[in-house]
C-alpha cells in the first residue's frame, strides 16, 4: 500500500477494542508536544550532588520516624481528588 495514512486506518480498523484504546493513547502522546518533548529529553546522567544526597538521606530518616502522608491528603490540601487527575473523556 502506497498511502501510509490509508494503511494505518486499515490496521486500526482490524484492532480489537482493548488494543485500540492503547493505540489511541499512543497517538495522543505522540501528537502532544509536551509528552513528545519529555519522551525525547536526554536522560539525566549527572551524579547527584552532595546536597542532593544529603536531602535524600534526610527524607529517608524523616520517613522512618513519621508516617508518610497519603496522596489523597496532599490532593485535598489543593481541593482535589484522584478523579480530578483522570484525563477528560473525549466525546465524538
Query: What range does the domain containing 64 cover?
Result: 4-85
Q: Is residue 39 part of a domain?
A: yes
Beta-carbon contacts of 25 under 8 Å, excluding residues fewer than 6 positions away, are none
- Round to whole Å and give the CA distance between 82 and 70: 12
Q: Is residue 92 part of a domain?
A: no
Q: Is residue 90 part of a domain?
A: no
Question: Which residue stretches of the chain have pLDDT < 70?
Answer: 1, 90-92
With vertex at residue 60, the alpha carbon angle to CA 52 and CA 81, rounded to the nearest 5 degrees, is 95
Note the pLDDT of residue 64: 94
Note the pLDDT of residue 91: 57
- Distance in Å from the first CA to the final CA of the chain: 29
Note the pLDDT of residue 90: 63
| Domain count for the chain | 1
Q: Is residue 31 part of a domain?
A: yes
Beta-carbon contacts of 7 under 8 Å, excluding residues fewer than 6 positions away, are 1
Q: Is residue 52 part of a domain?
A: yes
Amino acid at each position: 500500500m502506497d498511502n501510509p495514512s490509508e494503511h494505518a486506518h486499515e490496521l486500526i480498523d482490524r484492532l480489537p477494542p482493548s488494543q485500540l484504546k492503547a493505540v489511541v493513547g499512543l497517538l495522543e502522546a505522540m501528537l502532544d508536544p509536551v509528552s513528545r518533548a519529555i519522551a525525547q529529553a536526554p536522560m539525566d546522567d549527572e551524579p547527584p550532588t552532595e546536597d542532593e544526597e544529603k536531602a535524600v538521606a534526610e527524607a529517608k530518616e524523616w520517613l522512618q520516624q513519621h508516617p508518610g502522608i497519603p496522596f489523597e491528603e496532599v490532593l485535598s490540601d489543593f481541593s482535589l481528588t484522584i478523579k480530578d487527575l483522570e484525563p477528560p473523556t473525549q466525546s465524538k
